[in-house]
Amino acid sequence: MKSRFTVSLSFLFALLLASMSYGQKLAEPFEFQFEGKTLRGLIERPQEVAPSALVIIIPGSGKTNFVEGRWYSRLRDQFIKEGLAVCFWDKMGCGQSEGTFDELQPVDNSAEEAIAAIQELKRREVPGLQKIGLWGLSRAGWICPLIIKQYPIDFWISVSGTDDKENYGYLLKSNLIIAGKEEAEVEILYHAWRESHRLSCTGGTLEETMEAVRPLQLDSTSRRLFGYSEPRPITEADRLEYKARNDIYTSKGHFDEASGLWVYLEDFEETLSAIDCPVLALFGANDSQVDWRKTKALYERTLDSTNTTYQVFENCNHNMHRCITCAYGEDLSALQWQSCDGYYDTMHTWLKEQGIVK
């Protein structure tokens, strides 16, 4: 276990590295309290000018490593170059944030976490707070509207956002196709997942759910891509874990019989319809993780058409990188993790049109 002294040194070293690497940027530690834990990150801003706004980065699913891993460093530097301040922090149990990481953290709880951060920024009177914007990726497509519903936000950049329903089935199907599976076999595996999803969402037993998912367990490609394990005897510990996870997963939202998918947020269309700040919605045409077409259609039904701008980038994946196969987890080192053509230019132009940057 790291000592408090060791943790502090590593955090300060990362902060010093950020300051040394970019002479035009000021970086300072940022921490706030949420549910009795201290969450830690950074506030970065231009060195020479007062920031015209502050952008809060809301990440997608999974663990984070913003400070020590210099996550989103190019995006952060781009915002600072535009004359904006940036704030971000690591989730519980990640980086130097206290607590235990919860992969099943409800999205409304994530929104409350962000609001706690905003309140601390207000208390500190951080430069740039005259305008607050959100930049959010993927899962943040649920979180950002919930933040805006509870707190006045001046602009929102939605990247690879979600619609109101579970999207794992789309990820599974897309990536099986990319992996070279025949369409008929993909449909069998996809429907195996859908049936297991239905059972787990509607009170099915672990035995019933595992029987439904068996085709995926027996498929070597599904095991390699998605971590399915080969069938084995079910233990009492397995049943207890299944119930605990299902209780958490189904504590919010409802199962939609028409689509066969879990709906995470009640009244999500009404929440989106109430948004009155400018929105920039960006999508990768080759996103294999989220069905961007459904999300774009949802936004077009709900968001103010005069206040929303859309851009779809070709040869572009979920994380706004140029891609070859565009599969989930693709190694893009051969492309040097290049951003999608026009991605940063589009944000710059939009921020300028909104009067957020000069």
Cβ contact 66:72 at 8 Å: yes
Residue 24 is predicted with a pLDDT of 80
Residue 301 is predicted with a pLDDT of 97
Q: Are strands 155-159 and 25-34 parallel, antiparallel or unpaired?
A: unpaired
Q: What's the pTM value of the predicted model, to 2 decimals?
A: 0.91
Q: Tell me what percent of the residues of the chain surpass a pLDDT of 90.
A: 89
Q: How far is CA 181 from the centre of its chain?
A: 28
* Rounded average pLDDT over 126-134: 97
Question: Domain 4-164+267-353 is of which CATH architecture?
Answer: 3-Layer(aba) Sandwich (3.40)
Q: Give residue-wise pLDDT tens across range 217-233.
A: 999 999 999 999 999 99
Going by C-alpha positions, the residue among 197, 186, 183, 264 that lies closest to residue 225 is 186
Would you call 244 exposed, middle or buried from its count of C-beta atoms within 10 A (0-12, 13-18, 19+)?
exposed
Helix (H, G, I), strand (E, B) or coil at 158: strand
Domain boundaries, the chain: 4-164+267-353, 168-263
Residue 22 is predicted with a pLDDT of 39
